Structure 1
Amino acid sequence: MKRNSSGRILDHTRTAATGLVAVLLLAAGFWTSWGDAQHILLSKGREHGTLSVERCAEEVCTGPYTPREPAPGREGVTIEQSVAVRKGEALSVVLRPGTTEALRTGPAGGLLAWMPLGGALLLASPVIGAGLRLTRTAWAAAAAGGLLLLASFLAL
């Protein structure tokens, strides 16, 4: 049975809208991850050191910061509180330029920074599979997102 042109237009519009939703989910996940990951992955020239966690409030933990290179030590350097940050722990960190906000470095910090992308891959996989009818691509996106989240959980 041959389809009329309005049926084909509706089909193409649905596919384009679903593709746009999938691209927006993945772009938002990447953009959110890149905000922290750029400081961890491209850390040359940034201030590295160790943060000794002394106090934790609702959303942030603070403590004294000891730089690796000759630079002044800082009081009140903050790091976002998560399950990976505990009072009394010494963390290897990099400071965001121009702030006293620290980001965890190393494999655990890198994986933690890319967690939003892993979640976005998981969220986009049903859209890719059902909406775009690309089941293999959807399974690959779901597997990549799940592996990224699992690796982050195990590294922390």
Structure 2
Amino acid sequence: MPSAVVSSQGAFTALRFGRLAAMGAVAVLILIAGVWASWSSAQYVMLTKGRESGTIEVAGCAGDTCGGRYTPLSAGSQARERVLIENTAAVRDGETYTVVMKPGGSEVIRSGPAGVLYSWVPLGGALLLASVVVAGGLGRTRAAWMMAGAGFAVITAAFLTV
């Protein structure tokens, strides 16, 4: 009989390890996706050395983009009659915003503290989602609460600054 008990404990340990490995992998993938989505715009806002920076006066919005006149602030930057910025809750018609030009095009991204926080919102959402996986799948409630708090802080800070 002792061999049946040992076999049962071994199977339980293997299943538990498999569950922890699978849930850990899901949590890591969620966080990687959040960083990837955030970095696509955060790199331009955070690493501004050598990039064109200026202001945009939003003249009108249509669909997913707004357009306006670009006035340069950095050396070597050229004025442009029309550049495009993503139409979000953070952009209003008739307002002026500090922006950074994306290389090789006429698209700009909002800069400054509001731009940095707004670009990291996808990571904040990923932290909130991964916290559920960490709490439920891994049973690490303290780590999950810390992740959820960090995600909530990023999203709240972005909302307040934008």
Question: Which TM-score band (shorter chain)?
Answer: over 0.9
Percent identity (aligned): 49
Gaps of 5+ in 1: none
Shift of 1:70: 4.6
Deviations 1:25-66 (A, max 9, x none): 000000100111011110110000110100101100001101
Deviations 1:77-106 (A, max 9, x none): 000011110010111000011111100011
Shift of 1:72: 2.6
Q: How does 1:21-32 map to 2 (within 5 A)?
A: 21-32=26-37
Q: How does 1:63-142 map to 2 (within 5 A)?
A: 63-68=68-73, 69-142=75-148
- How many residue pairs match? The answer is 156
Gaps of 5+ in 2: none
TM-score by length of 1: 0.96
Shift of 1:7: 1.6
2:44 to 39, 42, 65: 39
2:22 to 17, 38, 62: 17
Shift of 1:107: 0.4
1:154 to 153, 157, 160: 160
Quote the RMSD (CA, aligned, Å).
Answer: 1.2
- Give, in whole Å, the separation in 2 of the partners of 1:7 and 1:75: 67
Shift of 1:76: 2.2
1:144 match = 150
